[in-house]
């Protein structure tokens, strides 16, 4: 059960079960002194009334007490050790497993999902699940089990009094269940209100520049304030509902104490039970509900953790993209005859609605193919389909004649380099950041790549050169420098197909020519697919594809397209007009 | 002492809810007392039986039943009181947290905009939400639990006099030892642990964020989670640290739980010895039974505070972060605001550094922007272009020199008044989840609908309004409403056009909108800038050739200034940049240039 729900390893599962059993032993051991108390009291009474002579053996009882004490200590210690060791180990195993799974997910899935949400599965959900395993699960299982075992043993000793002890447990459990049902609605509403607060705060902080300079600040703050205040009554209601029901349920459980006294005293008077039995049940009655109460307390947290466990499972079970049997990962080097990228009647939509309609073209090896069109026309979608970020729904995309769907993504990606605007750098040295392009690259190769990408000039200015650590996502570098590092990676990788966003060149307008130069060198003799914005920069391309709303409208070389007097012509002319714009031109 | 600090600070945030907190504390204490007295009833049952032993006919069954129900009632009462204590502590907690959140967001909202440029909104939101959440647990649960455990030793002192001082003292020994162990754990846990834990947690969180954010690179370059060393190391270190920490507490934690569950080990021999000594055996028996019955209550209360101790440290850390924010310096306000005559902006020998020991972002910069003229700032990134604009808008205040508007120091002007005079058009174009009308009228709530629509028209937004289902009343951010970056930009321009402030600070967009959007944005800018005093951070040199004044910034200094023609003639840095720029716009991918 636990193994399935929390995705434990076999070893972890066994360890948690052992820990729970030890917890149960601990609980049972803490009940043992009660028996000693009853026996000793009985001995005292026997001597007091003169039934027995001599003194009570101090050493026997103290000796037994010592053994019990030792048992308590050991049981606790073993539980403790087992649960924390296991949860610590499972924690890292699960986090590595999740990270590896995320790596295997199709990029389309990653595009759809909020990245911080994914991170929170690795961080928060794993933390909740592991905490549950370490503390909640052991206490819950241990508490419940020990309560039941104790009751069963007592049942054989005196079933009537045991029944008294247990009589109200089902009612308590029912109240508990009822409590969850009643408070669930409030709980949900509160969660919604909390989300509202989050959204409100986020909007407020994001727009603080606008707010601070507008007369609306106070009004806005008031709405936010009322959002925050609106949560309070709901929270209190929830506390009231769950607090009261839990309190009722605990009290119901303890009615057993009263029953034991009433039934016990009747039976004692009529001589059906001995004094020691009565005292034993009396002592037990004040003690036995404790582990059960604890188990109940844990139940809430256990249920709470199921949400996290489910999020973890959902991620681990998400289907991966695969390739065909014969082009699996094991075959490290599939030999493709050439690297033409061909779209054959491709239609594709993220949801029900298609955003790419029946597009066919070939980007030839050694040629540059540019995709242009107004924003939202499907340029970048098309580019990403070329690398199997998504699987197309109709038609096919192939490289060198092989359908990309048949190639395992890990093998497929070896053939691509991407130069997009969203450069990802790691908080590591420049050297290691470039090295990602080729794991076994030599220092010479890395420096050569950096040089080709025009990185060497800024790297040399850095205090530690190639060994400078560049901060989170390279925050110590300018946009253009980061872009050139990503190009250096691509140089190092030297993949036959290059997917490129032309606007990457203007990410740092003050250094535009350097990036342009680097890109120029990178794309030589490759299959190049470019998303283009500045039409003047692509007039020399071997093929230009004009998209509008997912349809391939025009294609050809610049001169042909200009002659057609269509969309391309219009965009081109408009841009030439734009470039002449200046501030202050009217004055 | 440290804990006390936390509670004192917390109390100061409670405001009038100190009353409910106090109530909660009293109820929690009462609950502990009632809980103990319930066990006294059970003891009384035992006492009746022990007293009538040998002749049960003397036993008053009615009395026994009465005592039994009394015990049940008292336990219920104790739970009820505890529930009430929790209710009041929760009321306090929820209200205090809400108050604190409101206080925080208002305080943060009044901090200089520079603070917001440095601190990402997501991080700030997390502090407002999560750190206050931690305090909620502390107030709601831990304070009542601490109170209950504090009642125990006091109760035992009372029992010492009422029942048997010897056995009472014996029982007090393990309780005191328990407290000592707890105290030593708290000490061990304090500072060092929390700091290390937070660092380790931060490392793993950063590594995970980095890994997930970089997943496309990880995938495309064939990396694995294992080869991603930083993540692997952070995960391992975190788990090692958690295990190490847990194991370091293994013995103390086990000892604590053994000792509070082990009171019997002290009680049994003392009871036997006392009984064997033969002194007043009846009293000894009764006392022995009394404590035997009472122990479970002690265990219940003492095991509750165990969990609280580590939470206390986390709460303290949270509180520290909150207090740090509340100690941030707000923008200085003047008591006698002066009003400038015109909008001529002049920087007089202005110096500024973002951090005390960092290199100066601006170094002794002087610049005058005449009313009604356009000044463009050009130069490499990091040269100080945006710092100048930020200082004029008072994101920060200058550290050396002065910025004057129409001869008046900006710091002597009313901040809100000055902000009415300035439109800031930067690259981040966030819109509110409101209708387009309300978004545009955000600076000018009194504007008529016609005025707003006119501004939208001037900002060339007509096509946007046409395609949206409810036109200008469409709420931004609702499902199915998608606006491109260029479209959002035009709406923010409409906002600025409607505001019609005499000064415009403009950061030219570097991102490339498509040709049609670009064209419309340019038209909208024409409308906005007409007749204004303009400071423009320029990235594309072509757009500024008609500016009245162009300043070239390099490493925090203005190294050249003049009109486009003048600067070209002087053949300096600007002339170079311009040539470079001409090259870049004539770039053709796959063209002959680099072939």
Residue of B nearest to A514 (CA): B584
pLDDT at A551: 93
Q: Is the pLDDT of residue A413 over 60?
A: yes
In a domain, B94, yes or no: yes
User: 3-class DSSP state for residue B366?
Assistant: strand
Please state, in angstroms and as integers, the Cα–Cα distance from residue A242 to each residue in A223, A239, A485, B336, following that order: 29, 5, 57, 56
If phi > 0 it is left, if psi is from -120 to 50 it is alpha, else beta; for residue B549 that is beta
Mean pLDDT of A452-456: 89
B294 and B406 fall within a common domain: no
Residues of chain B positioned with their CB less than 8 A from the CB of A219: 445
pLDDT per residue of chain B (595 residues) written in tens, 0 to 9: 344 577 888 888 998 999 999 999 999 999 989 988 888 888 888 888 877 776 777 778 888 888 888 888 898 898 889 888 989 999 999 999 999 999 999 999 989 888 888 888 888 888 898 889 888 988 988 888 888 888 877 887 787 777 788 888 888 889 889 888 888 877 765 556 767 777 888 888 888 888 888 887 888 887 776 667 788 888 998 888 888 888 888 888 899 999 989 999 999 999 999 999 888 888 888 888 888 888 887 887 787 777 676 677 778 888 888 998 999 888 878 888 888 888 899 999 999 998 877 788 899 999 999 999 999 999 887 888 989 999 999 988 999 999 999 999 999 998 888 888 999 888 777 788 889 999 999 888 889 999 999 999 999 999 999 989 888 899 988 877 788 888 899 999 999 999 999 999 998 876 667 788 889 999 999 999 999 999 999 888 888 889 999 999 999 999 999 999 999 999 999 999 898 888 888 778 776 443 3
Most confident range (mean pLDDT) of A104-108, A301-305, A391-395, B92-96 is B92-96
In a domain, B148, yes or no: yes
Taking residue B324's Cβ as centre, other Cβ atoms within 10 Å add up to 10
Most confident range (mean pLDDT) of A423-427, A529-533, B349-353 is B349-353
Between A184 and B177, whose confidence is greater? B177
Q: Do B87 and A107 touch (CB under 8 A)?
A: no
In a domain, B335, yes or no: no
Nearest-5° Cα angle at B504, B499 to B508: 115
CATH number assigned to the domain comprising residue B9 = 1.20.1560.10
Cβ-Cβ contacts under 8 Å for A576 (sequence gap 6 or more): A536
B166 and B66 fall within a common domain: yes
In a domain, B257, yes or no: yes
A410 contacts chain B (CB < 8 A): yes
pLDDT at A546: 94
Q: How far is A444 from chain B (nearest CA, A)?
A: 20
Distance CA(B428)–CA(B174), nearest Å, equals 63
Q: Do A95 and B208 touch (CB under 8 A)?
A: yes
Residues of chain A positioned with their CB less than 8 A from the CB of B525: 583
Q: Is the pLDDT of residue A330 over 60?
A: no
B68 and B131 fall within a common domain: yes
Residues of chain B positioned with their CB less than 8 A from the CB of A271: 56
pLDDT at A369: 92
Is beta strand B374-378 parallel, antiparallel or unpaired with respect to B533-537?
parallel
pLDDT at B2: 44
B187 and B259 fall within a common domain: yes
pLDDT at B595: 36
Provide the pLDDT confidence category of residue A333 given band limits of 50, 70 and 90.
low
Contact in structure between A85 and A298 (CB atoms under 8 Å): no
Between A18 and B224, whose confidence is greater? A18
Of B215, B536, B593, the CB nearest to A103: B215
Q: How far is B2 from chain A (nearest CA, A)?
A: 27
pTM: 0.81
CATH number assigned to the domain comprising residue B566 = 3.40.50.300
User: 3-class DSSP state for residue A393?
Assistant: coil
Distance CA(A117)–CA(A521), nearest Å, equals 39
Residues of chain B positioned with their CB less than 8 A from the CB of A530: 589
Residues of chain A positioned with their CB less than 8 A from the CB of B232: 96
Q: How far is A338 from chain B (nearest CA, A)?
A: 20
Tokens of residue A137, six digits: 């699960």
Which residue range is the domain that position B212 belongs to?
2-326
In a domain, B495, yes or no: no
Residues of chain B positioned with their CB less than 8 A from the CB of A512: 580-581, 584, 587
Fold of A341-425+490-579: Rossmann fold (3.40.50)
In a domain, B530, yes or no: yes
pLDDT at A329: 44
Residue of B nearest to A478 (CA): B381
Residues of chain A positioned with their CB less than 8 A from the CB of B212: 102, 115, 118-119, 122
Between A5 and A382, whose confidence is greater? A382
B251 and B385 fall within a common domain: no
Q: Do A261 and B71 touch (CB under 8 A)?
A: yes
| Three-state secondary structure readout of B487-518 | HHHHHHHHHHHHHCCCEEEEECCCCCCCHHHH
Domain end among B326, B360, B390: B326
Burial category of A306 from C-beta neighbours within 10 Å (exposed 0-12, middle 13-18, buried 19 and up): middle
B184 and B318 fall within a common domain: yes
Domain end among B261, B294, B326: B326
Q: How far is C-alpha A9 from the chain's CA centre?
A: 19
Q: Do B75 and A254 touch (CB under 8 A)?
A: yes
Cβ-Cβ contacts under 8 Å for B542 (sequence gap 6 or more): A579, A580, A581, A582, B581, B585
Q: How far is A393 from chain B (nearest CA, A)?
A: 22
pLDDT per residue as tens digits for the range A497-518: 999 888 777 777 777 888 888 8
Say what the ipTM of the complex is: 0.84
If phi > 0 it is left, if psi is from -120 to 50 it is alpha, else beta; for residue A474 that is left
Q: How far is B71 from chain A (nearest CA, A)?
A: 7
In a domain, B337, yes or no: no
Q: Is the pLDDT of residue A548 over 50?
A: yes
Torsion sign across C-alpha atoms A209, A210, A214, A218: negative
pLDDT at A173: 84
Cβ-Cβ contacts under 8 Å for A51 (sequence gap 6 or more): none
Q: In what order do the strands lie in the sheet with B362-369?
A: B362-369, B345-352, B400-405, B408-409
Please state, in angstroms and as integers, the Cα–Cα distance from residue B480 to each residue in A112, A356, B231, following that order: 16, 19, 37
Cβ-Cβ contacts under 8 Å for A270 (sequence gap 6 or more): none
Spans of all domains in chain A: 1-157, 159-272, 341-425+490-579
The torsion angles phi and psi of B431, rounded to 5 degrees, stand at: -115, 155
Mean pLDDT of A1-15: 83
Which 90-129 residues of chain A touch chain B by CB within 8 A?
91-92, 95-96, 99-100, 102-103, 107, 110, 115-116, 118-119, 122-123
B240 and B355 fall within a common domain: no
In a domain, B545, yes or no: yes
B249 and B394 fall within a common domain: no
User: Quick one: what percent of chain A has pLDDT higher than 70?
Assistant: 97
Q: Do B544 and A582 touch (CB under 8 A)?
A: yes
Beta-bridged to residue B534, according to DSSP, are B374, B504
Structural domain count, chain B: 2
Which 432-451 residues of chain A touch chain B by CB within 8 A?
436-437, 439
Q: Do B430 and A437 touch (CB under 8 A)?
A: no
B352 and B260 fall within a common domain: no
Q: Do B522 and A119 touch (CB under 8 A)?
A: no
């Amino acid at each position: 059960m636990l193994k399935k729900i929390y995705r434990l390893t076999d070893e972890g599962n066994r360890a948690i079960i052992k820990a729970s059993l030890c917890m149960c032993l601990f609980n049972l051991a803490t009940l043992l002194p009660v028996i000693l108390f009853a026996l000793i009291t009985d001995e005292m009474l026997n001597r007091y009334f003169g039934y027995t002579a001599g003194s009570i053996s101090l050493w026997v009882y103290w000796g037994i007490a010592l053994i019990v004490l030792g048992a308590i200590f050991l049981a606790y210690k073993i539980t403790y050790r087992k649960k924390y060791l296991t949860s610590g180990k499972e924690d890292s195993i699960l986090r590595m497993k999740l990270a590896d799974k995320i790596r295997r997910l199709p990029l389309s899935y990653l595009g759809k999902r909020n990245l911080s949400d994914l991170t929170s599965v690795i961080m928060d959900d794993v933390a909740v699940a592991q905490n549950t395993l370490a503390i909640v699960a052991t206490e819950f299982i241990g508490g419940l089990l020990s309560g039941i075992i104790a009751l069963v043993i007592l049942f054989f000793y005196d079933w009537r009094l045991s029944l008294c002890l247990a009589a109200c447990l089902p009612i308590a459990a029912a109240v508990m269940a009822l409590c969850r049902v009643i408070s669930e609605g409030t709980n949900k509403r509160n969660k919604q209100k909390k989300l509202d607060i989050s959204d409100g705060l986020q909007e407020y902080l994001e727009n603080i520049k606008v707010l601070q300079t507008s007369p609306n600040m106070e009004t806005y703050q008031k709405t936010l304030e009322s959002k925050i205040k609106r949560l309070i009554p709901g929270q209190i209601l929830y506390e009231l509902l769950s607090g009261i029901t839990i309190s009722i349920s605990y009290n119901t459980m303890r009615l057993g104490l009263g029953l034991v006294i009433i039934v016990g005293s009747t039976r004692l008077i009529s001589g059906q039970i001995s004094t020691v039995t009565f005292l034993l049940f009396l002592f037990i009655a004040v003690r036995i509900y404790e582990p059960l109460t604890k188990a109940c307390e844990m139940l809430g947290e256990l249920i709470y953790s199921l949400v996290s466990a489910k999020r973890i499972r959902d991620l681990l079970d998400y289907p991966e993209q695969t390739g065909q049997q014969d082009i699996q990962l094991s075959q490290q080097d599939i030999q493709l005859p050439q690297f033409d990228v061909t779209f054959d009647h491709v239609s594709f939509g993220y949801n029900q609605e298609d955003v790419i309609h029946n597009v066919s073209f070939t980007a030839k090896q050694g040629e540059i193919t540019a995709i242009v069109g107004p924003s939202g026309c499907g340029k970048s979608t098309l580019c990403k389909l070329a690398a199997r970020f998504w699987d197309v729904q109709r038609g096919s995309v192939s490289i060198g004649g092989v359908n990309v769907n048949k190639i395992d993504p890990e093998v497929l990606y070896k053939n691509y380099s991407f130069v997009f605007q969203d450069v990802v750098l790691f908080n590591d040295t420049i050297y290691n950041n470039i090295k990602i392009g080729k794991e076994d690259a030599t220092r010479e190769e890395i420096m050569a790549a950096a040089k080709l990408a025009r990185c060497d000039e800024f790297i040399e200015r850095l205090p530690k050169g190639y060994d400078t650590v560049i901060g989170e996502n390279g925050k110590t570098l300018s946009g253009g420098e980061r872009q050139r590092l990503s190009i250096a990676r691509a140089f190092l990788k030297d993949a036959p197909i290059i997917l490129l966003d032309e606007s990457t060149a203007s990410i740092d307008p003050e250094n535009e020519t350097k990036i342009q130069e680097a890109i120029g060198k990178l794309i030589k003799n490759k299959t190049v697919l470019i998303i283009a914005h500045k039409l003047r920069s692509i007039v020399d391309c071997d093929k230009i594809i004009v998209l509008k709303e997912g349809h391939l409208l025009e294609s050809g070389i610049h001169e042909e397209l200009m002659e057609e007097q269509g969309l391309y012509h219009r965009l081109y002319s408009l841009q030439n007009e734009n470039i002449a714009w200046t501030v202050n031109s009217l004055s | 002492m440290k804990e006390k600090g936390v509670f004192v600070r917390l109390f100061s945030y409670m405001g009038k809810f100190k009353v409910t907190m106090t109530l909660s504390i009293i109820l929690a204490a009462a609950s502990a007392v009632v809980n103990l007295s319930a066990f006294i009833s059970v003891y009384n049952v035992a006492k009746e039986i022990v007293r009538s032993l040998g002749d049960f006919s003397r036993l008053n069954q009615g009395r026994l039943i009465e005592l039994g129900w009394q015990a049940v009632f008292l336990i219920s009462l104790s739970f009820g009181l505890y529930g009430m204590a929790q209710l009041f502590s929760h009321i306090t907690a929820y209200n205090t947290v809400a108050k604190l959140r409101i206080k925080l967001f208002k305080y943060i909202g009044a901090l200089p905009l520079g603070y917001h440029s440095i601190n990402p909104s997501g991080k700030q939101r997390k502090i407002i939400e999560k750190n206050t959440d931690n305090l909620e647990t502390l107030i709601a649960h831990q304070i009542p639990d601490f109170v209950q455990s504090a009642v125990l030793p006091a109760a035992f002192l009372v029992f010492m006099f009422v029942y048997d001082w010897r056995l009472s003292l014996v029982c007090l020994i393990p309780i005191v030892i328990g407290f000592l162990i707890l105290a030593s754990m708290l000490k061990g846990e304090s500072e060092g642990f929390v700091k290390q834990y937070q660092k380790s947690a931060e490392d793993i969180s950063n590594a995970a964020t980095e890994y997930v954010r970089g997943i496309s690179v990880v995938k495309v370059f064939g990396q694995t989670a294992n080869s991603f060393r930083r993540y692997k190391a952070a995960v391992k270190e975190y788990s090692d640290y958690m295990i190490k920490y847990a194991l370091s507490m293994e013995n103390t934690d086990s000892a604590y739980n053994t000792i509070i569950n082990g009171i019997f080990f002290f009680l049994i021999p003392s009871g036997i010895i006392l009984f064997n000594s033969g002194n007043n055996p009846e009293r000894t028996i009764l006392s022995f039974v009394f404590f035997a019955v009472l122990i479970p209550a002690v265990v219940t209360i003492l095991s509750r505070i165990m969990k609280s101790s580590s939470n206390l440290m986390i709460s303290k850390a949270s509180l520290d972060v909150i207090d740090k924010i509340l100690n941030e310096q707000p923008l200085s306000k003047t008591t006698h605001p002066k009003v400038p005559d015109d909008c001529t902006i002049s920087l007089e020998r202005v110096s500024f550094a973002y951090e005390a020991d960092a290199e100066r972002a601006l170094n002794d910069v002087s610049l005058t922007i005449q009313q009604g003229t356009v000044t463009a700032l050009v130069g490499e990134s990091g040269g100080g272009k945006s710092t100048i604009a930020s200082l004029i808008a008072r994101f920060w205040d200058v550290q050396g020199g002065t910025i004057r508007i129409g001869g008046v120091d900006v710091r002597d002007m009313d901040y809100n008044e000055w902000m009415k005079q300035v439109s800031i058009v930067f690259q981040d174009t966030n819109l509110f989840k409101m209708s387009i009308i309300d978004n545009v009228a955000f600076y000018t709530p009194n504007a008529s609908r016609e005025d707003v629509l006119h501004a939208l028209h001037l900002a060339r937004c007509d096509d946007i309004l046409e395609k949206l289902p409810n036109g200008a009343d469409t709420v931004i951010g609702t499902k199915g409403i998608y606006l491109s970056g260029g479209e959002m930009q035009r709406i923010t321009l409409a906002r600025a056009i409607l505001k019609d402030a005499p000064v415009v600070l403009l950061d030219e967009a570097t991102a490339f909108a498509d040709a049609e959007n670009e064209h419309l944005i340019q038209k909208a800018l024409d409308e906005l800038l007409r007749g204004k005093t303009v400071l423009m951070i320029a990235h594309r040199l072509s757009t500024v050739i008609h500016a009245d004044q162009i300043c070239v910034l390099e490493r925090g200094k203005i190294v050249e200034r003049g009109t486009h023609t003048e600067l070209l003639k002087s053949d300096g840095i600007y002339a170079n940049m311009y040539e470079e720029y001409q090259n870049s716009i004539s770039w053709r991918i796959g063209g002959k240039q680099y072939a």
